[in-house]
Amino acid sequence: MSLQLTDFCLDIDGVTHLGGISTQFERGRLTTVIGRTLAGKTTLMRSIAGLQVLDKGELALDGRSFSSLSAWRRDIAMVYQQFINYPHLNVFENVAFPLRRKGLSEDAIRSRVRGVLDKVGLQGFDARRPSQLSGGQQQRVALARALARQAGILMLDEPLVNLDYKLREHMRTEFRSLLADQDQTIVIYNTTEPAEAMLLGDTVVVMHEGRILQTGTPSDVFDRPAFMQVAAVVNDPPMNFIPGRKGPDSIELTGGIRVGLPSHLNSLSSGDYWFGIRASELRVGDDCVNCQVTFSEVSGSETFLYVDSPAGALTLQVEGVHIHELGETLGIAIPADRLFAFETGGQRRLAGSPATGAQL
């Protein structure tokens, strides 16, 4: 049982917004759609909801087409980036609004609204207006209204993006439990944040410039990115990429940096490639590549270092608080056993994964 999208296409003023997207969203599974701004995530949701007219494409729910249905008949609930609540209504009436439009009885409305407010932690807030709530509470009201509808499809378009960092962290951990019993609902969650995509999603869809690059479980997408763009999007900071050449028994990176040939790249033919390595895998140490610090940033219990190396600009993510001066020389180790290899043209990942050794 699923929502099936077939060949969704949309061009506006010569710019591709959706480029032949075909995929499906399963009932009872939370699918996170991750991509940078302008990847096409919101356009995809609007197209599913019937708010955006496509150039081409078919939409079917559980095998039955509903491409021709108007938006109001599609049984879809949405939560937007901006929490949309009715300022003149209290919390109870905000959540009850779509139920009254459906014509439910007062007893049914009261029971459902009370239940969903308890679920999102807003019990006792029934009589408050949105202006009397914090940002996180207002977002919960919007989520409660969507949950109360009990729609067949629930879509959340970057619902945490406008909250402060601490509140985002808190709400992110709660979302999974809030949506846990939606076993008869198709849930689609748009985000630009890798942590949200990996933490929340049963399935992760990676979009870029109106196209889907990869679909899989969080571990599939993170450990075995199919393209360089996927590796960049699902890592924060983005993965470092260094051009280089694979020889019979070693890898020579740009700038004359030579590393041993790791076992997971043994099957790779000799030639030129892009080699990727996560910021968290690079190490500061002795007897390494000399680099100059261009920027240093402490974020909580981690330090982000930006350096110039013979291979170009690199980003490091180091545990702990470390103070470094601009222009300071550091030795940076590039562990060969953590390298990904991508082809130079299509940028498809090649050979095995450094995380698992699994083949593509």
CA distance 123 to 113: 10
**Contact predicate 279/316, CB 8 Å:** yes
Please enumerate in sequence order all residues whose Cβ is within 8 A of that of 16, keeping only pairs 6 or more positions apart, or say none.
10, 209, 210
Q: Which architecture, in CATH terms, is 240-350?
A: Beta Barrel (2.40)
Q: What pLDDT is stored for residue 360 in this prediction? A: 44
Query: 180 by DSSP, 3-state: which?
Result: coil
In the chain, CATH 2.40.50.140 sits at 240-350
pLDDT tens sequence for the chain (360 residues): 699 999 999 999 999 999 999 999 999 889 999 999 999 999 999 999 999 999 999 999 998 998 989 988 898 999 888 778 999 999 999 999 999 988 999 999 999 999 999 888 899 999 999 999 988 889 889 989 998 998 999 999 998 887 777 777 777 777 777 777 767 889 999 999 999 999 999 999 999 999 999 999 999 999 999 999 999 999 999 999 999 999 999 999 999 999 999 999 998 999 999 999 999 999 998 778 999 999 999 988 899 999 999 999 999 999 999 999 999 999 999 999 999 999 987 678 777 778 655 544
pTM equals 0.90
Of the candidates 32, 40, 49, the one whose C-alpha atom is nearest the C-alpha of residue 191 is 32
**CB within 8 A of 70, min separation 6: which ones?**
50
CA-wise closest residue to 83 among 35, 143, 38: 143
pLDDT at 10: 97
DSSP, res 227? B
Coil, helix or strand for 232?
helix
Predicted confidence at residue 1, as pLDDT, reads 66
Q: Residue 341: which region, alpha, beta or left (left: phi > 0; alpha: psi -120 to 50)?
A: beta
pLDDT of residue 184: 82
What kind and span of H or E run contains 343? none
Look at residue 349 in the predicted model and tell me its pLDDT.
79
The confidence score (pLDDT) of residue 320 equals 93
Query: Which fold, 2-233?
Result: Rossmann fold (3.40.50)
DSSP state of 348: B
- Spell out the alpha helix ranges (H) of the chain: 41-49, 91-102, 106-119, 135-149, 165-178, 194-200, 218-223, 228-233
Q: Which amino acid is at 305?
A: L
Upper half-sphere CA count for residue 236 (Cβ side, 13 Å): 12
Q: Where in the chain is the domain with CATH 3.40.50.300?
A: 2-233
pLDDT confidence of residue 84 = 84
Do 302 and 317 contact (CB within 8 A), yes or no?
Answer: yes
